[in-house]
Amino acid sequence: MTKKIHPMNARLLQDLKNTTMTESAHKAAPAALPKAAAKKSQHLSITLFKADIEKIDAVYALAASNGKRVTTSNVIKLALRTMTVTPNLLNTLDEIRADDGRINKA
């Protein structure tokens, strides 16, 4: 009893038999994948002093007393977006570096 093969399967089997390893190795490469979209944000790791943490806690308390919840990330973004970039920031930077003690004033 001979098993009947569907014509499509027979054609596929014949194509496989006719294909050699060198033929299959020289096929065109697939098109490159599209580039991933640029990230909206970047993960950072920072070290804060006790005074900085106390200010963050004060913002938490202010937000909570007004029915809002904030994260440390929200507080840092709030500080960055509300500050004015002036030469006075350099004086504050010197104070931060003096508190840290690890970083030169360069």
Show the 3-state SS of 4-53.
CCCHHHHHHHHHHHHCCHHHHHCCCCCCCCCCCCCCCCCCCCCCCCHHHH
Q: Is residue 78 part of a domain?
A: yes
Nearest-angstrom CA–CA distance, 83 and 71: 19
Q: Is residue 21 part of a domain?
A: no
Q: Is residue 5 part of a domain?
A: no
Residue 106: pLDDT above 60?
no
The residue ranking higher by pLDDT, 26 or 78, is 78
Overall average pLDDT of the 3-14 stretch: 77
pLDDT in tens, 26-71: 566 666 777 777 778 888 888 899 999 999 999 999 999 999 999 9
Mean pLDDT, the chain, whole residue set:
83
Q: What is the pLDDT of residue 82?
A: 95
Task: Give the range of the structural domain holding residue 72, as residue numbers without chain letter.
Answer: 50-100
Q: Is residue 34 part of a domain?
A: no
